[in-house]
Amino acid sequence: MDRLIYTALNSLHNRRDSNVTQAQNLANMNVPGYRADLDNPGGTRFAAALDQASVRAFQLEKGPAGFSEDSGFLDKTDNLLDVAIADQGYFFMKPDNGGPPALTRRGDLAVGNDGILRNGAGEEMLNAQMQPINIPPFRQIVINEIGEIIIEPIDGAPGEQLNIGALATTMPPEGTLQKGLDGHIRNKDGTMPPVDQQAKVLQGTLERSNVNPIDELLATIENQRGFEFGMKMIAETQKIDEAGASLMQAPME
């Protein structure tokens, strides 16, 4: 009987984790460049009871959950400070909380009052030397396909162009990245892949998140049904246990 209860409780635990994943994805579906989290199915583990032949089976998570590397919808905005990566690849950024550099697909850029180039989350965009990019006042700005930033300085001669650096990009092998506890993307060992400038950068284009709201809502409904089924199983187990206990009671005189 206890094995049935533990099996039902393990199912409820896994459903809860799936619901958290779906809620996280739906909450970030409008965040540019967001990569959808995936469920972590893990694997089956067997716990043997002491001095007994029977065992209990559990489904446990195995390592950190993955995320979808599919590209999101590319939205043509014609905003010169909106950038996107055409297919595979990532930008380098420094989180606004001062953490170590990480990778991002978010490209809704803006120049702050201090001249530093940041994305919509306040994260500093980095160059190949892992330094923040400082952009002087400009009349015109061009970000080419390899990420080079070329401006016409506002105090320069007409037609004068100035190359002030490049957005660092990388195209790491598929399956080598994961999201850390801070939600940022790095190598699985916590290090950063090398800068290779292999990603194709598009100016005036913004990548939306790769979250599919229909799939997430359907998964949420399915998880809710599974959770309700698990609760019914526990309730039925209680009835069976109570019925068995009543049969074992001494007859009443």
CA-to-CA distance for 151 and 144, rounded, in angstroms? 11
pLDDT value of residue 63: 59
Residue 253 within a domain: no
pLDDT value of residue 112: 93
Q: Given the structure tokens 């989180």, which residue do they identify? A: 95
Residue 240 within a domain: yes
Q: Which domain holds residue 84?
A: 74-207
Residue 54 within a domain: yes
For the chain, the residue count is: 253
One domain, residues 145 and 201: yes
One domain, residues 27 and 81: no
One domain, residues 116 and 14: no
One domain, residues 222 and 109: no
pLDDT value of residue 150: 96
Query: In 3D, which of 78, 37, 42 has the Cα closest to residue 59?
Result: 42
One domain, residues 101 and 202: yes
Residue 96 within a domain: yes
| Count of domains observed in the chain | 2
CA-to-CA distance for 134 and 114, rounded, in angstroms? 8
Kindly state the tokens that stand for 199: 């990603």
pLDDT value of residue 57: 56
One domain, residues 94 and 190: yes
pLDDT value of residue 248: 67
pLDDT value of residue 128: 93
Residue 87 within a domain: yes
pLDDT mean by block of 10 residues, the chain; 253 residues: 62 73 91 90 54 55 77 95 95 92 96 95 95 95 96 89 95 92 92 95 96 89 77 74 68 61
SS3 36: coil
Residue 144 within a domain: yes
Residue 132 within a domain: yes
Q: How many CB atoms lie within 10 A of CB 17?
A: 14
One domain, residues 133 and 234: no
One domain, residues 116 and 231: no
